[in-house]
C-alpha cells in the first residue's frame, strides 16, 4: 500500500518469507503473484494463483478473487475445490444395543406398530437400509389388514427414501 499498489522488492521478499513459514498462505501467494505480474510475468502469476485455488480449502472466501485475477490475465481459472463428503456419524454401541433389543422384542411380539416405525427409523439412522426395508416388510406383513397403519408405514418408507419393501 505504501508503494501505491506496487509490490516492491522489499515487500516481495517479506511475502516470500511469510510463504516459507506458512506454505500455501493465500495472502503471501497473492502478492507474490501480483509481483510476478508487475514484473511482466503473467504466466508465472496465473500458475501461482492456480495452485493456490487448487489447494484451497472448500469454501475459502478468497478463491473467487484469485479466479477473477487468473481470468483477468487471460487464463482459465481452475474450479473452486468441492466440499468433502461429510463423515458418517459415529453411532455409540449403546444405541446399536438398544436397536437390537427393540428388534428382538418385536420378533417375539410384533403387535407394537409404533415400535416397528421406530425400528425402521433406527435402522436408517444406523445406515442399514437393508434392515430398515426388512423391518418395514415384516411390519407390513404383520399389519396387512390395517390400511391406516400400512399407509403410515408406506409414508415413512417414502420419507426415508428406502423404498423396495
Using 50, 70 and 90 to split pLDDT, how confident is the model at 131? very high
pLDDT in tens, 60-91: 888 999 999 999 999 998 888 877 667 777 78
pLDDT in tens, 23-38: 767 888 889 999 999 9
When pLDDT is averaged across residues 121-125 and rounded to a whole number, the result is: 91
For residue 40, pLDDT over 80 is answered with yes
Using 50, 70 and 90 to split pLDDT, how confident is the model at 5? confident
Report d(CA 104, CA 133) in Å as an integer. 16
The 3-class secondary structure across the chain, one letter per residue, is: CCCCCCCCHHHHHHHHHHHHHCCCCHHHHHHHHHHHHHCCCHHHHHHHHHHHHHHCCCCCCCHHHHHHHHHHCCCCCCCCCCCCCCCCCCCCHHHHHHHHHHHHHHHHCCCCHHHHHHHHHHHHHCCCHHHHHHHHHHHHHHCCCCHHHHHHHHHHHHHHCCCCC
Q: What is the percentage of the chain residues whose pLDDT exceeds 70?
A: 92
pLDDT in tens, 85-119: 677 777 888 888 999 999 999 999 999 999 999 99
Amino acid at each position: 500500500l505504501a508503494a501505491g499498489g506496487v509490490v516492491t522488492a522489499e515487500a516481495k521478499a517479506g511475502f516470500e518469507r511469510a510463504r516459507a513459514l506458512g506454505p500455501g498462505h493465500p495472502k503471501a501467494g497473492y502478492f507474490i503473484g501480483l509481483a510476478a505480474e508487475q514484473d511482466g510475468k503473467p504466466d508465472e502469476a496465473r500458475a501461482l494463483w492456480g495452485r493456490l485455488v487448487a489447494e484451497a480449502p472448500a469454501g475459502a472466501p478468497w478463491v473467487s478473487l484469485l479466479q477473477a485475477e487468473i481470468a483477468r490475465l487471460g487464463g482459465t481459472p481452475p474450479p473452486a475445490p468441492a466440499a468433502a463428503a461429510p463423515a458418517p456419524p459415529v453411532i455409540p454401541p449403546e444405541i446399536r444395543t438398544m436397536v437390537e433389543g427393540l428388534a428382538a422384542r418385536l420378533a417375539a411380539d410384533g403387535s407394537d406398530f409404533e415400535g416397528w416405525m421406530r425400528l425402521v427409523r433406527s435402522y436408517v439412522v444406523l445406515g442399514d437400509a437393508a434392515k430398515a426395508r426388512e423391518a418395514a416388510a415384516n411390519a407390513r406383513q404383520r399389519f396387512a389388514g390395517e390400511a391406516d397403519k400400512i399407509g403410515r408405514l408406506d409414508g415413512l418408507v417414502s420419507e426415508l427414501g428406502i423404498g423396495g419393501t
